[in-house]
Amino acid sequence: MELQTALTTLIMPPFAPLVGLLLAFVFWFFPSSTPVAKLSLPLAILCFLTLWICATPAFSGWLGQRLVSQQPEAPKVEPGAVVILGGGRYRNEDTGSERLSAETLERVAWAVARAPADLPLLVSGGRVYAEEKAPESDLMADALEKLFQRSVTWRENCSRNTAENAVNSAALLHDSGVESVLLVTHWWHMPRAAESFARAGLQVRPLPVGSPGELVPRAENHLLRWLPSAAALLRSQVYWRELLGNQWYRWRALPGRRNC
């Protein structure tokens, strides 16, 4: 998992453009007659422009629209359960205390507010790193029961990524005779998640959290769309990772059911 995360980071902004700028700085000190030295200025300009563009609301919005076009259609079936996918946790390295990230808590609250109350709930998420104490599904179940007074029927607590979410959840649900689900995750994660659950043998009705338009401040609709910002760079990272993940998941086979 750590290797996969590292490789993804290497090919996404801001890491790749920053490495290019560092190389351009190093090339600058080579003898001017060498081909490498002549590449210094063009490489610096290219990396600077790449970093600038990736940090603009215009570019992050363009990436977001690529994900919008991949949103799955809802099948004409009634779901037999609600599946909520985990989206991370906060962990205090000093005390070891853990709590749901804002992203995961938003998915939980969204499911409570918008999913039919009579459908049984499945929460999915395990331990991504060895030092994590409780499975993420346990943290989600605690929040549902203590904050929203909703009981959880299934806890899928062994998965570390979306593919394992799908395979492990499908196995639990098939054992209980459930063949269709209402899937809750963020809109930008929905294409990859829904396709993974469909490949695992479930009919998926998406219930995406949020929409791309709500993330773009009104001022970014004009000239400021072309000015870089930390928020736009973060959105570009998220969307870019999902687009890459979509392609990777389509090329690889789903893993087998993972036991803790």
User: 96 and 195, same structural domain?
Assistant: yes
For residue 260, is it within any domain?
no
For residue 38, is it within any domain?
yes
Domain that holds residue 165: 81-213
Contact (CB, 8 A) for 235 and 60 = yes
For residue 254, is it within any domain?
no
User: Which two tokens mark 69?
Assistant: 């076009």
Contact (CB, 8 A) for 202 and 176 = no
**Listed residues 213, 234, 254: the one ending a domain:** 213
Tell me the DSSP string of 203-259.
Answer: EEEEEEES-GGGGS-GGGGTGGGGS--HHHHHHHHHHHHHHHHHHHHHHSPPPPPPP
What whole-number distance in Å separates Cα of residue 244 and Cα of residue 70? Answer: 13
Q: Look at residue 10 in the predicted model and tell me its pLDDT.
A: 77
For residue 24, is it within any domain?
yes
User: 98 and 34, same structural domain?
Assistant: no
User: 175 and 90, same structural domain?
Assistant: yes
Contact (CB, 8 A) for 169 and 82 = no
Q: Which span out of 93-97, 136-140, 213-217, 256-260 was modeled with the highest average pLDDT?
A: 136-140
**Listed residues 173, 189, 213: the one ending a domain:** 213
Report how far Cα 99 is from the mean position of its chain's Cα atoms. Answer: 18
Mean pLDDT taken over the chain = 90
Strands 203-209 and 180-186: parallel
User: 234 and 186, same structural domain?
Assistant: no
> Does the reported pTM lie above 0.85?
yes
User: 209 and 85, same structural domain?
Assistant: yes
For residue 55, is it within any domain?
yes
For residue 47, is it within any domain?
yes
Strands 203-209 and 89-91: unpaired
User: 144 and 32, same structural domain?
Assistant: no
User: 135 and 31, same structural domain?
Assistant: no
For residue 259, is it within any domain?
no
Sign of CA dihedral 191, 130, 101, 167: positive
Using one digit for the tens of pLDDT, what is the confidence trace for 169-188? 999 999 999 999 999 999 99
User: 172 and 111, same structural domain?
Assistant: yes
The tally of domains found in the chain comes to 2
User: 55 and 166, same structural domain?
Assistant: no
User: 39 and 7, same structural domain?
Assistant: yes
User: 209 and 88, same structural domain?
Assistant: yes
Coil, helix or strand at residue 155: strand
User: Which two tokens mark 68?
Assistant: 């919008």
Using one digit for the tens of pLDDT, what is the confidence trace for 224-236? 788 899 999 999 9
For residue 250, is it within any domain?
no
Question: Can you give the CATH number for the domain in which 127 is found?
Answer: 3.40.50.620
Tell me the DSSP string of 86-123.
Answer: ---EEE-TTT--EEE-HHHHHHHHHHHHHS-TTS-EEE
pLDDT band at 77 (very low <50, low <70, confident <90, very high): confident
Query: Side by side, which strands form the sheet with 121-124?
Result: 154-156, 121-124, 81-85, 180-186, 203-209
User: 206 and 85, same structural domain?
Assistant: yes
The single-letter DSSP state of residue 148 is: S
Q: What is the mean pLDDT of residues 187-202?
A: 95
**Above 70 in pLDDT, residue 196?**
yes
**Listed residues 213, 235, 253: the one ending a domain:** 213
- Secondary structure E strands in the chain: 81-85, 89-91, 98-100, 121-124, 154-156, 180-186, 203-209
| 208 beta partners | 185
